[in-house]
Amino acid sequence: MARMKRNANGSGCIRRRSDGRWEGIYSTSEIDGAGKYKKRSVYGKTQEEVRKKLTEITSSIDDGTYIAPSQYRLADWLENWLEIYVRPTVKDFTYDSYANICQRHIIPYIGKIKIREITTTQIQKFYNDLLQVKKLSPKTVKNIHGVLHRALEQAYLVGEIKINPTDRCLLPKVTKSKIEPLENDDITRFLEAIKGHKYESVYYLTLFAGLRQGEVLGLTWDCVDFENSTILINKQLKRNSHHKGAVYHLDSTKNGKERYITVATSVMLMLSKQKEWQERCTEAAGSAWNNEWDLVFTNELGEHLKHPTVYNNYKRIVKDLGLENKRFHDLRHTYAVASLESGDDIKTLQENLGHATSSFTLDRYGHVNKAMKVKSAQNMQRFINKVS
């Protein structure tokens, strides 16, 4: 082995290793168990490359900005991040979503790389492969990036890495999905098709109150005010898909806020019929009845309805109608468009839908608003013709 040489500026020692690489050894500001400064190494192909690295490191030690190289592999850091920084601060559903992304997408591909060594180029290639090889959608890749960015940002904040390598990655452009509400004729056909269906009331309320699926399935009787024709939306039924067998629980609304909706008379009539049906089921089930959350929508034994079951039944109905491209969420879009076309203003619709801001609602349904403006201009022209 070549004799160790003192670096010219006194910042460390450089030597040629038997494998041909150059190694620079420096003392850190960390103290080991014996009370001595810990020594660390950097490596390079040339002596000059190592000397440059040593100069940068010893300079950072002198000015107090030095960060010891992290020994975490990405997989280990993600596990710690999830348990220490994520689990205590987010809802269970969000935690499970992050954990699922880590386990399914990130760890199998780049989990073995040490976080101090992972580069922007490696992450960019990872994103590109997800798009081009795995054929994931741009939105899914963007979600994966969001999780990885948060995890590495925390590593940066606590001093495990010097920079967040995801900061300079280029993300695919996400194309906003087109709003495709049911046409009036399709609504008529849909209503006819769900008559007598066991989930008729679920679909009816979704269509004419604009609730999210979880909000419909998590609605409880104490939130239904028959006297004032209002519904309080203050929770949702969540499905924890990360746990084996799926675990359901009641959780707060998507934005954490509650809202009151004044609904049409027909909707309240439907809810009255649902209550009567449930009372008959309660009597028939006897001691087997178990509606522990006092849910509006249950099966014959009082148990909560399951998201996939309600969704799959819906898809069979619309497929039979030749509308197989219609998603369950399109019932909510149909409500929004019908509300605007019926004369509701954006602010009212925003509050009914539970959007955080009216600007989001306007952006989401702006095409409908433009059509209303054209109609308004035509109405004004008719008035002008009348008075001119």
- How high is the pLDDT of residue 8? 38
Last residue of a domain, one of 18, 41, 62: 62
Residue 10 pLDDT grade (very low, low, confident, very high; cuts 50, 70, 90) = very low
Give the C-alpha separation, 81 to 68, whole Å.
Answer: 19
Q: Does residue 249 have a pLDDT over 60?
A: yes
Based on the domain organization, do 133 and 243 belong to the same domain?
no
pLDDT computed for residue 380 by the predictor = 84
Residue 100, both tokens: 């699922």
Clarify whether residues 285 and 211 are in a common domain: yes
CATH for 143:
1.10.150.130
Does residue 213 form part of some domain? yes
Q: Please tell me whether residues 227 and 368 are part of one structural domain.
A: yes
Instruction: Quick: pLDDT tens for 159-184.
Output: 788 889 999 999 998 877 778 899 99
306 in any annotated domain: yes
Domain extent for 144 = 74-157
**Are 335 and 210 contained in the same domain?**
yes
32-36, 117-121, 156-160, 188-192 — which is least confidently predicted?
Answer: 32-36
Q: What does R_g of the chain's alpha carbons equal in angstroms?
A: 30
Which residue pairs, CB below 8 angstroms and at least 24 apart, start in 15-24?
16/47, 21/45, 22/46, 22/47, 22/49, 22/50, 23/50, 24/50, 24/51, 24/53, 24/54
More confident residue, 368 or 86: 86
State the pLDDT confidence band at 241, using cuts at 50, 70 and 90: low
Cα–Cα distance for residue pair 363/369, rounded to 1 Å? 9
Residues 107 and 239 in one domain: no
Residue environment code for 268-295, b if the CB has 16+ CB neighbours within 10 A, otherwise e: bebbeebeeebeebbeeeeeebebebeb
| Residue positions counted in the chain | 388
Q: Is residue 345 part of a domain?
A: yes
pLDDT tens for residues 287-345? 999 999 999 999 999 999 999 999 999 999 999 999 999 999 999 999 999 998 888 88
Cα diameter, the chain: 103
130 and 275 part of one domain: no
Residue 175 lies in a domain: no
Amino acid 2: pLDDT: 44
Same domain, 78 and 58: no
E strand or H helix that includes residue 215: helix 213-217
Report, in this order, helix, strand and coil percent for the chain, each rounded to 5.
50, 15, 35
**Interval 223-233: pLDDT, tens:** 999 999 999 99
Question: Taking a C-beta distance cutoff of 8 angstroms, is the pair 194, 269 a contact?
Answer: no
Number of domains into which the chain is organized? 3
Residues 368-374, mean pLDDT to the nearest whole number: 68
Q: In this structure, are 15 and 137 located in the same domain? A: no
Contact 341, 349 (CB under 8 A): no
Query: Is a pLDDT exceeding 70 seen at residue 68?
Result: no
Higher per-residue confidence, 210 vs 159: 210
List, for residues 70-114, the tens digit of each pLDDT value.
578 999 999 999 999 999 998 877 888 899 999 999 999 999 999
Do 131 and 238 belong together in one domain? no
Residues ≥6 apart with Cβ < 8 Å to 155 = 70, 72, 77, 81, 115, 161, 164
Q: Are residues 218 and 275 in the same domain?
A: yes
Mean pLDDT, the chain, whole residue set: 87
pTM of the model: 0.67
Specify if 248 maps to a domain: yes
**Which structure tokens are listed for 103?**
């386990």
Q: What is the pLDDT of residues 106-142, one digit of tens each?
A: 999 999 999 988 999 999 999 999 999 999 999 999 9
Assess if residue 178 is contained within a domain.
no
Which stretch, 173-187, 203-217, 236-250, has highest mean pLDDT?
A: 203-217
Higher-confidence position of 252 and 123: 123
303 lies in some domain: yes
- 49 and 85 part of one domain: no
In the prediction, which pLDDT does 32 show?
A: 63
Report CA torsion sign: 9, 12, 17, 22.
negative
* Residue 7 pLDDT grade (very low, low, confident, very high; cuts 50, 70, 90): very low
Q: Does 85 share its domain with 57?
A: no
pLDDT of residue 243: 47
pLDDT at 268 over 90: yes
Cα within 13 Å of Cα(379), Cβ side: 6
- What was the pLDDT predicted at 1? 42
Q: Please report whether residue 174 resides in a domain.
A: no
Predicted confidence (pLDDT) at residue 6 exceeds the cutoff of 70: no
